Amino acid sequence: QKEVEQNSGPLSVPEGAIASLNCTYSDRGSQSFFWYRQYSGKSPELIMFIYSNGDKEDGRFTAQLNKASQYVSLLIRDSQPSDSATYLCAVIYNQGGKLIFGQGTELSVKP
Amino acid sequence: DTGVSQDPRHKITKRGQNVTFRCDPISEHNRLYWYRQTLGQGPEFLTYFQNEAQLEKSRLLSDRFSAERPKGSFSTLEIQRTEQGDSAMYLCASFTLLTGELFFGEGSRLTVL
């Protein structure tokens, strides 16, 4: 089992729709969870992080964390073509602080 | 600029040469990570530091790779006797528990001919 798993996609949504990106992790003791956006040829850009169970909203983005299910998701409301990118989920493992990334989900927002 | 900076941004070298990358983290961040990323893959963990202490190094990393963070400020990643398979983007990220934010530099792209 991979430590952090994401659907590789591509995920295609129409402009204005809600895009839902999912991530599962294997270390039950993980405490910190991050979502990054990465455009081709660029470094990852932090969207948001979440530590507590529940939802965290920032503009059009909502992160959802369920530690019991070892599941974290990112919702993008009113998706725009400029949101087309690869979205990376990352988890800091409880023991030692190693930050592990998933393989990323490619999102395509069609005008 | 108060972000994470990496140098050089691009490096082309011949197989067998040594290369060194430098990362300057955000000044108040005490944790620094190094990653390698190839096309279509997520960043692959290499190593990380808490202040000047190297806390973990990936088992996937051969002995040709070494990293240092003297005085807990900037860090260097050296690759000895480069191979074509080392061609990748090398990313540095810095982190602080105070805010929980983790930011990446622009990366150093290595091409081994």
Residue B85, number of CB atoms within 10 A of its CB: 9
Percentage of residues of chain B with pLDDT beyond 70: 98
Cβ(A100)–Cβ(A4) below 8 Å: yes
Position A6 scores a pLDDT of 94
Contact residues on chain A for B31, CB-CB shorter than 8 A: 97
Q: What is the pLDDT of residue B23?
A: 97
Q: What is the pLDDT of residue B62?
A: 78
The single-letter DSSP state of residue A82 is: G
pLDDT of residue B97: 77
State the Cα–Cα distance between residues A92 and B102, nearest whole angstrom.
Answer: 11
Instruction: Give the tens place of pLDDT for each residue, A68-82.
Output: 999 999 999 999 999
Distance CA B93, CA B33 (A): 5
Cα B31 from Cα B51, distance rounded (Å): 6
Whether B1 has a pLDDT exceeding 60, the answer reads no
* pLDDT value at B61 more than 80: no
Is B55 in contact with B49 (CB distance < 8 Å)? yes
Do A49 and B100 count as a contact with CB atoms less than 8 A apart?
yes
Taking an 8 Å cut-off on Cβ atoms, the answer to whether B33 and A32 are in contact is: no
Cα R_g (chain A), whole angstroms: 13
Q: Can you list the positions of beta strands (E) in B14-112? A: 19-24, 31-37, 44-50, 53-57, 65-68, 75-79, 88-95, 102-104, 108-112
In chain B, the percentage of residues whose pLDDT exceeds 90 is 73
pLDDT at A95: 60
- B32 forms beta bridges with B49, B94
Average pLDDT of A37-48? 92
Write the DSSP symbol of residue A52. Answer: S
Chain A positions in Cβ-Cβ contact with residue B50 (cut-off 8 Å) = 97
